[in-house]
């Protein structure tokens, strides 16, 4: 059993007990679970902590398990029984909680954590619920469609925070922790059977690449998390239904996280795209779902001719998806086409990051809305993928990771 990771605690400032640390190590540590987003909570006899891509349970003394049971990718299912609340009317008063429905507040029980800050949200955990609201609008001049005052999590009656009454700090890292990271975001579209894709992914793993979620990569850019050496991200564009047959089972089998940029309602055109049930299924299996607009619109020209239509493609597509799946934090510009105005729309929609088709592997905070990627095909031999990564690194002025 390896020792607790000092950097892990330093980055996140979370106090966790020894049983939990053992469970964390047994579950594969931060490389599997990502970074913690809540303090530990007790559910019955089980200590729980939520991570950006999973929940980890460490059973207590009365449960006959020696180590924790990781529930990777359960965050969406367990946390995001999102209860829609009307937007709050006023600005943040810094109090750490703001309820739009006093009856809900009464039902939530007493607060069990101090106010928390998490990637632009303020949150507070109560006995039975977590309240969160947006601390800042990414573009102050534009109305933010986010859900101020949204009640976001319903914990069950038995859940309570373990330990003393002290605050449970989840602190944003210092600005100096944010910075440049190098990691290829691979872009896939169609597939030609599972075997070729499996061979390619296994080749990447054998070559020393560690696939991480897009959340993890963005968290590293923001200074929340560290990337493992030779990290990469797998992304699929356009929401083709064939991705479900030829890519998804392989991703799940080899435990590679991925983000799928989908086209809500596009299946109506009968061209073989995923349905909303498919989106839900992806999310339930731990896949990140991002928006790629409703109509695969060329956004710069659409914004020039019909701004409100462009807004709908960027902003409403997120709102639409978020009524079905949680965590729609990422956007892919259709065709890779964007300009400053389109980026402003993505910011106004509240996307945490947006991906382009510009080649590159270098990610910096000021480029979160224009993340570079590496275009590959799911059936390529490994050597071609590695060459594409090298080419993209060169274009971006970076050393190749391999």
Interaction between residue 316 and Zn ion (CB under 5 A): no
The CB-of-368 to Zn ion minimum distance in angstroms stands at 20
Interaction between residue 237 and Zn ion (CB under 5 A): yes
The CB-of-355 to Zn ion minimum distance in angstroms stands at 10
Which of 41, 73, 85, 84 minimizes the C-alpha distance to 60?
41
Contact 132, 147 (CB under 8 A): no
The CB-of-299 to Zn ion minimum distance in angstroms stands at 11
CA atoms within 13 A of residue 31's CA, in its CB half-sphere: 15
| Interface of this chain with Zn ion, residues 328 to 367, rule: CB under 5 A | 334
CA dist., res. 207 & res. 228, Å (int) = 14
Contact 239, 261 (CB under 8 A): yes
Contact 370, 345 (CB under 8 A): no
The CB-of-271 to Zn ion minimum distance in angstroms stands at 12
Q: State which residue, 332 or 392, has the beta carbon closest to Zn ion.
A: 332
Interaction between residue 370 and Zn ion (CB under 5 A): no
| Span of 8-16, 123-131, 176-184, 236-244 interacting with Zn ion by CB under 5 A | 236-244
Size of the site for Zn ion (CB under 5 A): 3
The CB-of-340 to Zn ion minimum distance in angstroms stands at 21
For the record, the structure tokens of 77 come out as 């299912």
Q: State which residue, 126 or 331, has the beta carbon closest to Zn ion.
A: 331
Cross-strand partners of 117: 122
Element (H, E) at 363: strand 362-363
Question: Which string of DSSP letters, residue by residue, matches 276-311?
Answer: HHHHHHHHHTT-EEEE--SS---HHHHHHH-HHHHH
The CB-of-292 to Zn ion minimum distance in angstroms stands at 6
Among 222, 238, 322, 370, the residue binding Zn ion under the rule CB under 5 A is: 238
Q: Which residues bind Zn ion (CB under 5 A)?
A: 237-238, 334
């Amino acid at each position: 059993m390896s020792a607790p990771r000092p950097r892990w605690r330093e980055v996140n400032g979370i106090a966790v007990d020894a049983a939990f640390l053992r469970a964390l190590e047994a579950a594969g540590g931060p490389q599997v679970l990502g970074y913690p987003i809540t303090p530990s909570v007790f559910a019955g006899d089980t200590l729980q902590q939520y991570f950006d891509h999973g929940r980890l349970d460490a059973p207590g003394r009365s449960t006959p398990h020696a180590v924790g049971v990781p529930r990777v990718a359960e965050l969406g299912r367990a946390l995001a029984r999102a209860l829609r609340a009307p937007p709050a009317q006023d600005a943040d008063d810094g109090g750490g909680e703001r309820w739009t429905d006093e009856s809900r507040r009464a039902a939530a029980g007493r607060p069990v954590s101090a106010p928390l800050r998490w990637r632009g949200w303020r949150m507070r955990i109560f006995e039975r619920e977590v309240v969160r609201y947006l601390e800042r609008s990414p573009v102050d001049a534009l109305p933010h469609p986010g859900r101020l005052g949204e009640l976001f999590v319903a914990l069950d009656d038995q859940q309570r925070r373990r330990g003393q009454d002290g605050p449970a700090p989840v602190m944003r890292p210092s600005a100096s922790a944010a910075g440049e990271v190098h990691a290829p975001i691979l872009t896939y579209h169609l597939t030609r059977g599972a075997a070729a894709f499996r061979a390619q992914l296994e080749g990447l793993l054998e070559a020393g690449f560690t696939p991480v979620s897009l959340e993890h990569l963005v968290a590293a850019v923001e200074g929340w998390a560290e990337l493992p050496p030779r990290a990469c991200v797998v992304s699929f564009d356009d929401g083709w239904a064939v991705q479900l047959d030829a890519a998804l089972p392989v991703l799940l089998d080899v435990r590679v996280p991925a983000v799928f940029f989908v086209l809500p309602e596009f299946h109506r055109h009968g061209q073989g795209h995923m349905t909303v049930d498919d989106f839900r299924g992806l999310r339930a299996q731990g896949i990140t779902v991002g928006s790629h607009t409703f109509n695969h619109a060329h956004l710069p020209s659409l914004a020039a001719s019909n701004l409100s239509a462009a807004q709908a493609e960027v902003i409403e597509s997120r709102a639409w998806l978020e009524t079905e799946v949680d965590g729609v934090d990422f956007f892919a510009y259709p065709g890779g086409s964007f300009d400053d105005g389109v980026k402003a729309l993505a910011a106004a929609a509240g996307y945490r990051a947006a991906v382009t088709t510009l080649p590159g592997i270098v990610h910096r905070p000021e480029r979160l809305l224009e993340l570079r990627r590496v275009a590959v095909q799911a059936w390529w031999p490994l050597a071609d993928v590695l060459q594409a990564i090298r080419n993209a690194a060169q274009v971006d002025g970076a050393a190749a990771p391999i």
